[in-house]
C-alpha cells in the first residue's frame, strides 16, 4: 500500500498517481496498515418525478369522456337520436369531473350538439314547421 505525500490518501501499490488528488509522489504505508475493505454498493435512490410530469389518476369520468366521443361519432351516422343525447351528457360529465382528456370531452360535446341540431332542423323541416329556405339557404332558388 502507498500513501500519497500530498493528501495522505491510501492507494494500491500498482497506482502511479493518487486516486484522490492525482499527485505522483507516494510514501510506503506502515506494515500494520490493512487494505481498506470495499464498501457495499448502495443502490441509487430514484429521484422524485416533478409534478408537471405526473399524470392524474384515471377515473370513471375519464371513461365517460372516451365513451362520449365514440358515441358522438357513431351517433352522426346511426341511431343519433339515442346516442347524441347520451354522448352530450357523458361529455359534460367527463369535462366537469374528469381529470384527463378534457379536450376530447369538448370535442364530443361539440360533435354531439351539432349532430343534434342538424337532426332537429331536418325533423322540423320534414314536419313542415320551418320553411324550405332555412334548410337549403335563402339565396337558392
Q: What is the pLDDT of residues 6-25, one digit of tens each?
A: 888 888 888 888 888 888 88
- Give per-residue burial for 35-59: e unless 16+ CB within 10 Å, then b: eeeeeeeeeeeeeeeeeeeeeeeee
If you average pLDDT over residues 28-44, what whole number do you get? 64
Cell of 96: 366537469
Pairing of strands 26-28, 10-11: unpaired
* SS3 (DSSP) at 121: helix
Q: What is the pLDDT of residue 27?
A: 73
pLDDT above 60 for 34: no
Q: What is the pLDDT of residue 75?
A: 92
Q: Where are the beta strands (DSSP E) in the chain?
A: 2-4, 10-11, 26-28
pLDDT above 70 for 132: yes
If you average pLDDT over residues 22-39, what whole number do you get? 66
Question: Cα 85 vs. chain centroid, distance in angstroms?
Answer: 29
Residue 110: band (very low, low, confident or very high) from pLDDT cuts 50, 70, 90: very high
Amino acid at each position: 500500500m502507498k500513501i500519497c505525500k500530498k493528501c495522505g490518501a491510501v492507494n494500491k501499490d500498482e497506482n502511479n498517481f493518487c486516486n484522490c488528488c492525482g499527485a505522483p509522489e507516494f510514501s510506503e504505508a506502515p506494515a500494520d496498515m490493512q487494505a481498506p475493505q470495499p464498501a457495499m454498493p448502495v443502490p441509487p435512490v430514484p429521484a422524485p418525478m416533478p409534478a408537471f410530469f405526473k399524470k392524474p389518476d384515471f377515473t370513471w369520468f375519464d371513461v365517460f369522456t372516451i365513451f362520449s366521443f365514440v358515441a358522438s361519432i357513431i351517433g352522426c351516422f346511426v341511431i343519433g337520436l339515442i346516442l347524441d343525447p347520451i354522448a352530450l351528457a357523458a361529455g359534460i360529465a367527463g369535462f366537469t369531473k374528469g381529470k384527463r382528456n378534457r379536450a376530447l370531452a369538448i370535442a364530443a360535446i361539440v360533435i354531439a350538439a351539432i349532430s343534434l341540431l342538424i337532426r332537429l332542423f331536418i325533423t322540423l323541416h320534414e314536419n313542415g314547421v320551418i320553411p324550405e329556405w332555412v334548410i337549403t339557404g335563402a339565396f337558392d332558388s
